[in-house]
Structure formats: C-alpha cells, structure tokens
Amino acid sequence: MVIALLAARRSAGRVGAVVGRNIGAMRSGPSYLLVLLSGLAEPLLYLLSIGVGVGALIGTMELDDGSRVPYAVFVAPAMLAVSAMSGALAETTFNFFHKMKYARLYDAVLATPVGPFELVLGELTWAMIRGALYSGIFLAVMVALGLVPAPGAAAAFPAALLVGLAFGGFGAAISTYLRGWEDFDLVSTGQFALFLFSGTFVPVRDYPAVLEVVVRLTPLYHAVELLRGLALWRLEWGLLASLAYLVVMALGGLWLASRRLARFMFP
C-alpha cells in the first residue's frame, strides 16, 4: 500500500515534469504563445460571424423540447465544444507527432524514468490546461454577450474540459498511426467534417435519417449535446449517454496512445 502510494507520487511527479516541459517551452519565447492564442481565434470568429451575424437573419431556433432560443444561443455552446476539440487536437496531433517523430523529444524523455503512459498523460494534462484556458475565455465571452446564464457557464466549463480530454486522448492515439505530414490533411478534413455536421449549426433531427444515425455515432455530436444541454440548462437523460461516450473515449485514447507509443519507441 505504502509502496503503491509512493510509486503513484513519483509517477505524478513525472507527469508533472512533462507538463513543466511545455510550460517552459511556452515561456521561452513568443512563438509558441502565439500558436496557443491563435487556436482561440477561430471558434470566436465563427461565433461572431455565424452565431451573431447569420443569427440576425435566422432569428430563433426550436430546441428538441419545443422551446425557442435565439440562434446565437443555439450555436455558442457548439462553438465552445469545437474550441475544446481543436485546442486538444492541435496539441495531441500536430505537436505530439512533431515531438515524437521529428524533434525526437520523446526519445530523450523515455531514456529517463518517465514511461510511455506517464508521457502521454503529461501531454494530455498539458492539452487540458490549454483547453481550460480556451474554454474559460470562450465562456467569458459567451457570458459577456448574454448567450449563456452564469450557472450554465459554470456547469459547461468542466464538461468542456472532458471534451478536451476525450479529443486529446483520441488525437494522441491517432498520431501514433500517422505516417507523415501528408496524413494531417486527412485529420483536418475529418475535423472539419465533424465541425460542420455534428449538430453545430443545424439540429441533427433536420438531417436525413441515415446521416442522423451516423452523426449520432461521432464524438463531436456528443460533445455538442452535452455542452448545449448544460449551457442552456436543458437536463435530459440523453446527456448521461453523451457523458459516458466522452469518458470512454478519453480513457480508450489514453490507453491506446500509451500502448502504441511504447511499441513505436521501444521496438
């Protein structure tokens, strides 16, 4: 028991050291910080252009429970989900892949007592910190624009972190399968398809039946459902299913990524 606790503490220290490496990288120059901030800009621009701009043309949207909300209120939680997704994916696909294959950073890290699981967990934790920053600022903008009540924002924040964790784990696992930079086109295409068709701009029930079934299997749909339900405070049982989906995705991604990394790094 004592040994297990000591081991856990030592392991937590190693995870922390991996996070600390990224904080060091951020502090060492403006370039990485700029990359971090630019990740926030995209969903904010969509929120303003489509949510507020297009929203003025559309007026209100009918929710599943029959009530009507302004279009910007409908779109904003989805943009929050997208922001959490892209923040996590940027860190765990592009950066993870670069560090693993080109910068050979993980060769150096794994020559120390830090193991593959601790390394992936540390990178995910960092992606979470980055995601928390994005989600926090995004929610603050939503509150300032009157798009979400404060309690809804408070409930949506931890859920947004879970969304980041789920996509982060998934992204790290994907990175281990990528062959080269050309494969990133596939990743960004997939990401864009999710962005467009996950009930982000249009309710999924308006899709053709086949497409609706497909969409209900994809991760961003569940992220949008969960965040929209919490932000608009429409609590239904379905949210639990989305919650479970994201938890399984986070754990599965973490497990697969560390396993694959171990195999790649320790042939």
Partner 1 sequence: MPAKTLCEIVVAVGYGRGVVGEQPLIYAEGLVKRFGDFVAVDGIDFQVRAGEAFGFLGPNGAGKSSTMRMIGCVSRPSGGVLRILGMDPVRQGAQIRARLGVCPQLDTLDQDLTVRENLITYARFFGIPRREARRRADALLEFVRLADRAGGKVEPLSGGMKRRLSIARALVNEPDIVLLDEPTTGLDPQARHLVWERLFQLKRQGTTLVLTTHYMDEAEQLCDRLVVMDGGRIVAEGSPRSLIETYCPAEVLELRFADGTPGEYADKLAGVGERLDPLPDRLLVYTDDGDEALAEVHRRGLIPSATLVRRATLEDVFLHLTGRTLVE
Candidates 47, 82, 88, 114: give the one binding partner 1 (CB under 8 A).
114
Taking the alpha carbons at both ends of the chain, their separation in whole angstroms is: 33
Least separation in angstroms between CB 34 and partner 1: 13
Least separation in angstroms between CB 130 and partner 1: 15
* Residues near partner 1 (CB under 8 A), total: 28
Candidates 2, 4, 111, 150: give the one binding partner 1 (CB under 8 A).
111
Question: Mask 121-150, x = binds partner 1 (CB under 8 A)?
Answer: ------------------------------
Candidates 52, 54, 101, 115: give the one binding partner 1 (CB under 8 A).
115
In the region spanning residues 236 to 265, those forming contacts with partner 1, defined by CB under 8 A, are 265
Verify binding: residue 190, partner 1, rule CB under 8 A: no
Q: State the SS3 of the chain.
A: CHHHHHHHHHHHHHHHHHHHHHHHHHHCCHHHHHHHHHHHHHHHHHHHHHHHHHHHHHCEEECCCCCEEEHHHHHHHHHHHHHHHHHHHHHHHHHHHHHHHHCCHHHHHHCCCCCHHHHHHHHHHHHHHHHHHHHHHHHHHHHHCCCCCHHHHHHHHHHHHHHHHHHHHHHHHHHCCCCCCCHHHHHHHHHHHHHHHCCCCCCHHHCCHHHHHHHHHCHHHHHHHHHHHHHCCCCCCHHHHHHHHHHHHHHHHHHHHHHHHHHHHCC
Verify binding: residue 228, partner 1, rule CB under 8 A: no
Residue with Cβ nearer partner 1 (110 or 241): 110
Residue with Cβ nearer partner 1 (108 or 213): 108
Least separation in angstroms between CB 3 and partner 1: 13
Question: Mask 14-53, x = binds partner 1 (CB under 8 A)?
Answer: x-xxx-xx--xx--xx--x---------------------
Residues near partner 1 (CB under 8 A) are: 10, 13-14, 16-18, 20-21, 24-25, 28-29, 32, 103-105, 107-115, 265-267
